[in-house]
Amino acid sequence: MFCILLAMCFGVEMDEESIEKVDQMMKSVLIALDPRLDDFLPLLSPFFYKQRKIVQKVRKQQIETLVPLIEKRRKSIQNPDSDKTAASFSYLDTLFNLQIEGRKSSPLDEEIVTLCSEFLNGGTDTSATAVEWAAARLIENQKIQSKLYDEIKTTVGEKKIDEKDIENMPYLNAVVKELLRKHPPTYFALTHAVTEPAKLGGYDIPTGTNVEFFLPGISEDPKIWADPEKFDPDRFYMGREDADITGVTGVKMMPFGAGRRICPGMGIGTVQVTLMLARMVQEFEWLGYPDNGKVDLSEKLEFTVVMKNSLRAKIKPRA
């Protein structure tokens, strides 16, 4: 997943050593971004001097790692014939031409580094974690896996499934939608601010208040969902139940947030997870845990909500 996003972001070919270097650097960034008490109480910042020094060191490493890739892409655009391996378009290209309000210049390299880092971190763990949860759920319920494989065979036959095929696979899309309901990437959506006085649950919420949305509290609410604890893709299959994951027509689940602050990677993230899941089921039969152990669906919060114990499974090629 990380390699796919690297290619999309920088549009330049990278060897394994370079990919590993960027990967390790991005992991350091995530660790350094853990919330600290002085984020909320700046008066305490003198007590977190060592932690701030670590953050500054990681930031320096981040810039030194990514700026050469930015420069390489910039040169390949200026001289297209110099690099035949370069992609025709990348996320970076949109940043080079970005016009910032109140400023005549384009973003500085340091600002581009931050935007690229958000692109990579925001799309890697979220999608990879979703695929792991999906595999666990298919192992747990073999009937769902069989039904999904039958739809794949009926839709594409022996050819390898591609992005265009998934539009014609309602059960596959129902599985992914149920996956996002039961396993949203994080517990909380991005913070929203109240723009006018409001009442919520009997409480007065004044203008300017920050509001946090606890996603499982919505997607597992028995007042909204029938049997919310059960992983049941059939609820979204053939129109039995429905939910707009964008939150435009109503909020029954919002794995990507909602409103103007909805995740900008929602479209590509959903396609990546759907296609990867379909190919995994098309190529392999997911039989269960080694030594006939049960699937452990315990979870813990890291950058995303991950499986507490990493998935271990028996798989068997379909061919």
Which residues are CB-contacts of 139 (< 8 A; sequence separation ≥ 6)?
Answer: 145, 286, 287, 288, 289, 295, 313
- What dihedral do alpha carbons 228, 230, 236, 239 form, nearest 10°? -80
CB-hemisphere CA count at 13 Å for 146? 5
Nearest to 279 by CA among 163, 170, 139: 163
**What is the distance of C-alpha 10 from the center of its chain?**
19
**Count of CB atoms within 10 A of residue 181's CB?**
25
3 annotated as a binding-site residue: no
Which residues are CB-contacts of 90 (< 8 A; sequence separation ≥ 6)?
Answer: 7, 8, 9, 10, 11, 12, 73
Contact 267, 155 (CB under 8 A): no
Give the residue numbers of the binding site for heme. 263
Which positions make up the binding site? Answer: 263
